[in-house]
Amino acid sequence: MNCYDWPQYWDLAFDEDTHLEADFIEAAGRKYCSFPVKRLLEPGCGGGRLVFELARRGYDVSACDLSDAAVSYATERLAAADLSANVVVDDMRNLSCEPAADIGYCLVNTFRHLLTEEDAASHLQAVANSVRSGGLYLIGMHLLPPDADEEDNEEWSVSRDGTTVTMQLDVAQCDRKTRLETLKFRMEAVTHEADSPQLFETDYRMRIYRAHQFEELISQVPEFEILDVYDFWYNIEEPLQLSDEMGDTVFVLQRS
Ligand SMILES: C[S@@+](CC[C@H](N)C(=O)[O-])C[C@H]1O[C@@H](n2cnc3c(N)ncnc32)[C@H](O)[C@@H]1O
């Protein structure tokens, strides 16, 4: 059972920040790019909540995901709204985008699905080859500061159009030596159609980063430089100072 194969519920659970994130992507383009931004790229797009919102705002979006179900859902949702985007099943470790994108973005920890340094570097190189000179790659993820609680958990519910999704997220098996942790997702969906709640549970392995480890990774891909960092408030007026104490972080990388 893979929660990512149920994008109608997953996207609803994460939809609250979609407008804020899309606003930030646009604001980053205005602040850091010396050309008008038209083409966007999203590796690991899931059910396409951001692809949909940015296509709706007029951008030419290319995106990929490993999940057939997520890509089908995104494609059907776009078609139903008479929008278009290029959404395909592909592995973000070796994606390519032609013509090159102006901005790539990879938010909400998707980057941490790349479990080894080699996979992360190969993904960054693939994105560097797919983003134009002067373009950006925005990566949003949780960093793990030294004093962070390793047994974190969260729970929230979202309701819309007769569907309620409750998401429980538990961090288990956090190992700073191997730099891997397990995120346990428990997603419950209550709909008019089903007689009883549907329950989906998946454990996802994620790579752990501290700020300096991310900087070391970026130094392996000379095409990218870290321009600025933000947190999940996405306030483009207030870049932050990157440090090993940071948790929620959005990196703005620029392609040379
Ligand atoms: C946390 S979800 C985020 C989805 C979407 N980016 C969003 O913001 O809502 C992570 C997504 O990454 C996809 N994924 C994980 N590893 C991948 C890989 N190697 N290549 C492509 N997609 C991948 C998963 O299938 C999943 O849909």
Q: Is the CB of 70 under 6 A from ligand 1?
A: yes
What pLDDT is stored for residue 42 in this prediction? 98
Q: Is the CB of 64 under 6 A from ligand 1?
A: yes
Residue whose C-alpha is closest to residue 83's, from 39, 63, 104, 53: 53
What pLDDT is stored for residue 103 in this prediction? 98
CATH annotation of 3-144+209-255: 3.40.50.150
Residue whose C-alpha is closest to residue 216's, from 147, 91, 120, 97: 120
What's phi and psi for 110, nearest 5 deg? Answer: -55, -40
Ligand 1 centroid to 109 CA: how many Å?
Answer: 9
Q: Is 100 helix (H, G, I), strand (E, B) or coil?
A: coil
What's phi and psi for 208, nearest 5 deg? Answer: -95, 140
Q: Which atom of ligand 1 is nearest to the CA of 2?
A: 25
Segment (H or E) for 164? strand 163-175
Give span(s): CATH 3.40.50.150, the chain.
3-144+209-255
Q: Which atom of ligand 1 is nearest to the CA of 123?
A: 19
pTM of the model: 0.97
Give span(s): CATH 2.20.25.110, the chain.
153-207
Contacts with 134 (C-beta within 8 Å, 6 or more apart), sequence order: 33, 34, 35, 254, 255
What pLDDT is stored for residue 147 in this prediction? 81
Q: Is the CB of 254 under 6 A from ligand 1?
A: no
Ligand 1 centroid to 139 CA: how many Å?
Answer: 13
237 DSSP 8-state letter? T
Q: Is 123 helix (H, G, I), strand (E, B) or coil?
A: helix
What pLDDT is stored for residue 70 in this prediction? 98
Task: Give yes or no for a cis peptide into 99 (omega within 30° of 0).
Answer: yes
Tell me the best of 110, 124, 127, 187 to mutate to test the pocket of ligand 1, counting ligand atoms within 8 Å of each CB and taking the most: 110
Strand pairing class (101-106; 39-43): parallel
Kindly provide the residue ranges of all beta strands, DSSP E only, lying in 91-162, ordered along the sequence.
Answer: 101-106, 131-142, 153-160
What pLDDT is stored for residue 131 in this prediction? 98
- In order along its 256 residues, the chain shows pLDDT tens digits of 799 999 999 999 999 999 999 999 999 999 999 999 999 999 999 999 999 999 999 999 999 999 999 999 999 999 999 999 999 999 999 999 999 999 999 999 999 999 999 999 999 999 999 999 999 999 999 999 888 877 789 999 999 999 999 999 999 889 999 999 999 999 999 998 888 999 999 999 999 999 999 999 999 999 999 999 999 999 999 999 999 999 999 999 999 9
Strand pairing class (60-65; 86-89): parallel
What superfamily does domain 153-207 belong to in CATH? Answer: S-adenosyl-L-methionine-dependent methyltransferases (2.20.25.110)
